[in-house]
Structure 1
Amino acid sequence: MIDHWGDEVNLKKAYAGVTNVLASNPDAYIWAGRDFHQRPQQGINDYFWMTHDGQGAGVKNFDIGGIKFDLATVAAVESCNPEVMEDETNPSRITCTGGAGTGDKGNYAITSKIHGMKLGPLDLELYANYGFDSKAVEGEDKLKAWQGAFVVSHSNDSGVNKVIARYSDNSDNSVYNKTDDLTTIYASFEGSHKFTQQAQIEYLLAFHDYDNSSIKSDNRKNYGVIVRPMYFWNDVHSTWLEAGYQRVDYDKGGDNSGWKLTLSQNISIAMGPEFRPMLRFYMTGGQVDNDRTARVNGTKEETLDDFNLGAMWEAWF
């Protein structure tokens, strides 16, 4: 996979993998190369609660007694730093577009996942990751980080419910990116329910705690809720109403908050919220109160209102 946003063509994916090479474990998938690695995503809030894209090698679905194990060592890819140039020979006047190079950045991660476990009617997944730096990272910037997480889910013919909890030390959602004395906690409850084949709903509750014991000025707790009822008129047309609210409560300086309401009429290739491509006509209104940001920056406190009408095309493959 490559992308081209400007002056450069960036290599995003290039890897190879094989199965049926271990007689005792034919489903084990052994891979090496550059990939979008360990990036579990929540759809309704578009959040990767872990992300370790990079280049390396590993194994997935290694079966021990019916339980699956994933293990890999990956490195963050070196990328350029875009800078404006005075030299007019470069049409874009920047040194690069911030794309990926071919070498390692010096930030490494050992990632692991245990899945395929059952607790009665529940499915359980466990994650454990360790991050470290090479000599490419100098002096006090060289740190270690780790994180652990679990996912408990339950599914039936009417939908799915899922609980996610993650604890990170010296990091947030990636052990590549390290901050000394930082601990973060992320927890969420999300799910979907089909009242009928045509009437469905998706929902999410999320909590994020950011705590740095050395630099406390940005310590905060983030609360969010999203609900999206949907009605599918037929296999092509559907109407969605999405409501969201978020509050960021800082330890010092107050809080920020905001809400959003979106009504959309959608055209897609099949019935269901997961089908793409989709053409969407939408109307969005919202309000943001950045009280804490205004106090810190010494600016006037004001409420920002927003109203938009638009159309968009969405696809993934």
Structure 2
Amino acid sequence: MKKVSVIAAAVAATLAAGSAFAVDFNGYFRAGTGISGNGNGDMSVNKNGVGRLGNENDNYYEIGLAEDLKTGDQTWRIESMIAQGNNGSVGWEDGDFNVAQFAVKAKGLIASDKDATMWAGKTYYQRKDIHISDFYFLNTSGTGGGIENLSIGDQKLSLALIQDGDYKVQDADGKDTKVDSSTGYIFDARLANIGLWEDAALELALAYNFATESNDQKEKADDGVLVTAIVQQGLSNGFNQTVLQYGTKGYGVQAANFWGAGAYYARGTEAFNDASGFRLLNWGVVNLAQDWEMGHQLAYLSGSDIGGQKSGSSLYTGKQFDIDQYSVVVRPMYKWNDTMRTVFEAGYNAGERIADGGVAKEDFGNAKFTVAQAWAMGDSWWARPELRVYGTYHLDTENDKVFDGDDTEFVFGIQAEAWW
């Protein structure tokens, strides 16, 4: 006689008693291809600074499954998500699949505060992004736990502890990797729903990044702080959001740049211990007329004593420098009917890096213009799935040989994007 697992039977009985197996299937994907004029294939150039429409050369997939298990006044939600990305160059591609989310979130455990949610596991933790540039200006996602939406009067308090990487040291011969020298963590505190004026609310966030040490190894990087204030303004024809962020140490590097949002540039190095930076962002989506909608991004970013240089410029590698930059992106959309639309996107990002007391200076900048003919399931600016055919013109304003001996490039492409 076949023996039934006691654990499996208990799990099945619990699920059957608390749920009708109404699994929440959710996800996101984008996929497409492009042909460039200079033989560069499909291309993506600084999409966080100049916009993502017609400026993505990768395929990216997220598949999520979630289940709500109810018992009395409590709701136990199990969330899971698998994510994977590749360049879409062939029909069958090998690649690592990442368990992006797998967490338990329980609501109703506090009798006096039914909306408070306790959680533990791995999750996308209250991420904040600008859609048209795919820029996550606040992202402390990872493995940890905490409590969300705890009522403090009319405000909602969220507290979390999330692991944030590690740094490994090697033996003198460089062959054997020892146990972690340090492990990073983020203490994340947020206070939301702070009323301001009519249809406006303020959210405050504090991310404190610190590390523990092991093997008698001292962590070279100092602890850093990222402070965020978000003002959400509801409008009769859309919304507008203004964001002010200030970061120190490894978060200072992040705040002064578009690349690596969410990353703490610090583990195992002293290069960023003097860094500080801030950014001022404004973005939103509005109805301009019956058939027109528009999204936009305005950004100013600045930092001082930033160590290293991601672009590989020999002038700044290994040195500290100051940086100032700004970005303007607009995406107007004309709706021909409930399904077909024409979408335009123009973006410009420029700035300068200054090192050696102002003696060494490097300017940088690029622009992009895209026209896309698209078809979507609905007439909203946010309506997805969407099929689009596009043409994109790229211009590098400071390097006349960046595109195989030219400063311009044109890409023709087709893409699908969906979320559900």
TM-score bracket, normalised by the shorter chain, equals 0.7 to 0.9
Partner of 1:128: 206
Find the partner of 2:244 among 165, 178, 193: 165
Aligned counterparts, 1:102-113, within 5 A: 106-113=183-190
Please say if 1:211 is aligned against 2:304. Answer: yes
Residues 276 and 236 of structure 1: is their aligned pair in 2 closer, same or farther, counting only changes over 3 Å? same
Whole-Å separation in 1 of the counterparts to 2:185 and 2:241: 29
Q: Distance in 1 between matches of 2:138 and 2:384?
A: 24
Cα deviation 1:263-302 (Å, max 9, x = unaligned)? 00111111112122211100111210335x99xxxx9xx7
Conserved 8 A contact 1:126-1:151: yes
| Structure 2 unaligned regions, length at least 5 | 1-80, 86-93, 169-179, 255-260, 267-271, 308-317, 355-359
Paired with 1:4 and 1:46, the residues of 2 have a C-alpha distance of 16
Residue 55 of structure 1 contacts residue 77 of structure 1 at CA under 8 Å; is this kept in 2?
no
Greater Rg over alpha carbons, structure: 2
1:32 and 2:120 matched: yes
Task: Using the TM superposition, give the Cα deviation of residue 54 of structure 1 relative to its aligned residue in structure 2, in angstroms.
Answer: 1.0
Which of the residues 267, 274, 282 maps onto 1:181?
274
Structure 2 residue aligned with 1:242? 345
Are the equivalent residues in 2 in contact too, given 1:109–1:176 (CA < 8 A)? no
Partner of 2:153: 65
Map 1:2-81; keep pairs closer than 5 Å.
2-3=82-83, 6=94, 8-76=96-164
Of residues 368, 378, 384 in structure 2, which corresponds to 1:270? 378
Check the 8 A contact 1:146/1:175 in 2, yes or no: no
1:222 alignment partner, one of 314, 322, 325: 325
Q: Does 1:288 align with 2:402?
A: no
Aligned to 2:226: 147
**Deviations, residues 58-89 of structure 1 (Å, cap 9, x unaligned):** 11111111111111000025799xxxxxxxxx
Contact preservation (8 Å) 2:165, 2:185? no
Root mean square deviation of aligned Cα: 2.7
CA contact (8 A) 1:73 1:108 kept: yes
Residue deviations 1:219-254 (CA, integer Å, cap 9, x gap):
211111011111111221111111111102112323
Number of aligned residues: 288
Relative to the length of structure 2, the TM-score reads 0.63
Task: Report if aligned partners of 2:367, 2:397 keep a CA contact under 8 Å in 1.
Answer: no
Structure 1's unaligned 5+ residue stretches are 81-102
Among 325, 336, 340, the residue aligned to 1:233: 336
> C-alpha offsets along residues 103-129 of structure 1, whole Å, 9 cap, x if unaligned?
9x8110000111111111221111111
Alpha-carbon offset, residue 161 of structure 1: 1.4
State the distance in 2 between where 1:4 and 1:261 align.
28
Instruction: Mark the CA change 1:150 to 1:3 in structure 2 (over 3 Å): closer, same or farther.
Output: closer
Q: Tell me, yes or no, if the aligned pair for 2:306 and 2:321 is still in contact at 8 Å.
A: no
Alpha-carbon offset, residue 7 of structure 1: 5.8
Q: Structure 1 CA distance, aligned partners of 2:352 and 2:97? A: 41
Sequence identity of aligned pairs in percent? 25
Deviates more, 1:35-44 or 1:16-25: 35-44
CA contact (8 A) 2:184 2:209 kept: yes
Residue pair 2:306, 2:320 contacting (<8 A) in 1 also: no
- Higher RCO (C-alpha 8 Å, min separation 6): 2
Structure 1: distance between partners of 2:167 and 2:104: 22
Amino acid of the residue matched to residue 150 of structure 1?
Answer: A
Amino acid at match of 2:145: A
Aligned-partner SS, 1:44: helix
- Displacement of 1:192 after TM fit? 2.0
Residues 201 and 24 of structure 1, relative CA distance in 2, 3 Å threshold: same
Shift of 1:46: 1.3
Contact 1:107 1:131 in 2 (8 A): yes
Partner of 1:96: none
